Amino acid sequence: MVLGPVMLRAMDSGSQLVMRDLRGQGLSHSLIGTDPVRKLAVYLPAGYGNAAVHYPVIYYLPNPLAKFDEDLYRGQVREVLDRAVATAEIDKVIFVAVDMATPLGCSWYVNSPVTGNWEDFMVREVVPYVDSNFRTLAGRESRGIAGDFMGGYGAIRFGMTHPEMFGTVYALHPVGTGSGIYTMYSRPDWKLLANIRSLDEVKDSPYGTIFTSIFQAGVPDVNRPPLYIDLQAHPVGDTVEIDSAVTERLRDNFLLETMIGKYADNLKSLRGLRFDWARNDGNQDHVYSNQAFTHKLNEFGIPHEAEEYNGVWGTGNWGTDGRVYTEVLPFFARHLVFEASSNRTQPN
């Protein structure tokens, strides 16, 4: 399964960033050309090589709209983790970034007959691989998941569906938690989608790729090439007609808020659940839907933190004044279980 590890040079701190390629068996049936070989970027803390200690693991789902940036993990990410350990923001941990992007952008972390079984891939392949190949603390209490933007959606979704695996969840500015002020159907070009001849054509439309990825995750239909989706709306003259049944199915399968009731007890079983979002996001739907999401979590009595901060999304996650350093790592420090011998106030 493992195609080849790439060991990076040891830096001064003694930490390492290891790259791995993993062939996803659950991804082989994809109809849209998904590459089944996925990259993992694995941060191993200083001293990993010459100790017998086991470490908690934080899985990280990056925003799939950006390329999976190995240099980021080797550089800024490693520096932030090194420094957080040095300043006792968190004890030594393993950090694993997983590439789950699809040709259209996002897998949305679901099992889809069109794009691949991403949920299975994560739960049955990625985590077992990491636990087998690195000295992890292999229980939910020591395993967390975080993500950014669409990756934040994934982190919450895995917390809903697999709390037996991920005990602590942090989502940075998640999207897809609910609908917003503007309707979802108002974004795609329905005339284009109704008459499309090839998957590539959606790339010419402003919201074409992102919404097709949403539909392939939420309303897949293997019998309808080339997009393999059911259409939520149909053009009628200058306007569109909304298909109520497809809309309901789309909402039920895609929006996290619709799943809260079903997975409420799972979410309550988490050791820690937190998400945040930027108040001044250019897309206020993200703000509106996250506000609605925290309200609905509260209706079910699900403990969580939900912070709206001053700023715009995407500028401030990394760096030592970024939210990973100031928020995410301290949150995992409070909720993950570390080995007894590991002591945060005595980092070295």
Binding site for a copy of itself (CB under 8 A): 86-88, 179-185, 233, 240-242, 244, 247-248, 251-252, 261-262, 264-265, 268, 279-280, 282, 284, 288, 291-292, 294-296, 298-301, 304-310, 321, 326, 330, 334, 344-345, 347
Structure tokens at 343: 């002591």
* CA–CA dist 323, 147 (Å, integer): 12
Please report how close the Cβ of residue 140 comes to a copy of itself at its closest, in angstroms.
Answer: 20
Please report how close the Cβ of residue 58 comes to a copy of itself at its closest, in angstroms.
Answer: 19
CA atoms within 13 Å, Cβ hemisphere of 139: 7
- Which CB, 89 or 125, lies closer to a copy of itself? 89
Q: Using an 8 Å Cβ cutoff, are 38 and 60 in contact?
A: no
- Which CB, 38 or 296, lies closer to a copy of itself? 296
* CA–CA dist 65, 207 (Å, integer): 13
Q: Using an 8 Å Cβ cutoff, are 116 and 64 in contact?
A: no
Please report how close the Cβ of residue 123 comes to a copy of itself at its closest, in angstroms.
Answer: 22
Please report how close the Cβ of residue 256 comes to a copy of itself at its closest, in angstroms.
Answer: 15
φ, ψ of residue 346 to 5 degrees: the values are -125, 70
How would you class 233 by CB atoms within 10 Å of its CB: exposed for 0-12, middle for 13-18, buried for 19 or more?
A: buried
- Which CB, 130 or 231, lies closer to a copy of itself? 231
Residue 319 carries which side chain, given as an amino acid letter?
A: G
Q: Using an 8 Å Cβ cutoff, are 270 and 300 in contact?
A: no
Please report how close the Cβ of residue 316 comes to a copy of itself at its closest, in angstroms.
Answer: 11
Please report how close the Cβ of residue 234 comes to a copy of itself at its closest, in angstroms.
Answer: 11
- Which CB, 76 or 291, lies closer to a copy of itself? 291
- Which CB, 206 or 261, lies closer to a copy of itself? 261
- Which CB, 195 or 310, lies closer to a copy of itself? 310
Residue closest to 242 by CA, chosen among 184, 201, 286: 184
- How far apart, in Å, are the Cα atoms of 84 and each of 218, 320, 339? 38, 8, 18
Dihedral sign of CA atoms 127, 128, 133, 139 in order:
positive
Residue closest to 190 by CA, chosen among 246, 225, 238: 238
Please report how close the Cβ of residue 211 comes to a copy of itself at its closest, in angstroms.
Answer: 14
- Which CB, 24 or 180, lies closer to a copy of itself? 180
Identify the residue whose tokens are 């937190």.
274
